[in-house]
Amino acid sequence: MTPNKEDYLKLIFELGGYSKKINNKSIVAGLNVSAASVSEMISKLEKDGFVKHSPYQGVQLTDAGLQHASTLVRKHRLWEVFLVEHLDYAWNEVHEEAEVLEHVTSEELANRIEAYLGFPDVCPHGGVIPGNNQMIQERKMKSLNQCSLDEEVKIARVIDETELLDYLASIDLGINEIVTVKKIGAYEGPLTLVNAAGKKYHVSFKAAHNIFVSDLS
């Protein structure tokens, strides 16, 4: 399987494609590619037996697709933890490095990295790290754009995409930050968030789709 196909499987996994259908628009936003490219790749993945596509509804991982995606995600996220904890990478710097490393990492090496790191549960971006040969699902969370006005939530996970991570780093909004939604811009405008110290964050509507939060109640 090509690295490009693997990237699609990973994103569909991250968006929850193991339990629900993911529309092409979400994949376009997550990978920053054209709609035509997504349609073409989905056709290839369906032919390979990794996804099932339903017209006008979206795409969902098959058991084979989930198994392959889980293996990829495991290697990718273990490398991210290693780079942050032992090589002093920032959380927004590790995705592209892990993209390269995951494709040349054997199961034995992944197992040894996992043991060396003390069997971490999550990556720096809040994603669950599957165990060896384990088909895993992300914790069920809603995306930031689904929050209501004045709702208080904790930033729990973000999609592993370089542009998004750089964007969040630039506004200094990270995992475990507790914020309140103070304003929701009209016509898919930005969301204004405020933390306990009164700091404001202006998050684009596009980015909010790929930021997942947990309720405090």
- Cα distances (angstroms) measured from residue 145 to each of 91, 171, 212, 216: 22, 17, 9, 17
Q: Which CATH number fits domain 5-61: 1.10.10.10, 1.25.40.10, 3.30.1330.10, 2.30.30.50?
A: 1.10.10.10
Pick the closest to residue 80 from 129, 141, 43 (CA basis).
Answer: 129
Question: Which residues is 152 bridged to in the sheet?
Answer: 180
Task: State pLDDT tens for residues 127-159.
Answer: 999 888 887 777 778 999 999 999 999 999 998
Cα–Cα distance measured from residue 9 to residue 22, given in angstroms and rounded to the nearest whole number: 11
Residue-level pLDDT at 135: 75
Helix, coil or strand: residue 170: helix
Whether 84 shows a pLDDT value over 90: the answer reads yes
Q: Where are the domains of the chain?
A: 5-61, 142-214
Residue-level pLDDT at 18: 86
Span 142-214 CATH architecture: Roll (2.30)
Cα–Cα distance measured from residue 18 to residue 21, given in angstroms and rounded to the nearest whole number: 8
The answer to whether 5-61 and 142-214 have equal CATH topology is: no
What pTM did the predictor assign?
0.83
Per-residue pLDDT band at 97 (split at 50, 70, 90): very high
Q: What is the average pLDDT value for the chain, to the nearest integer?
A: 92
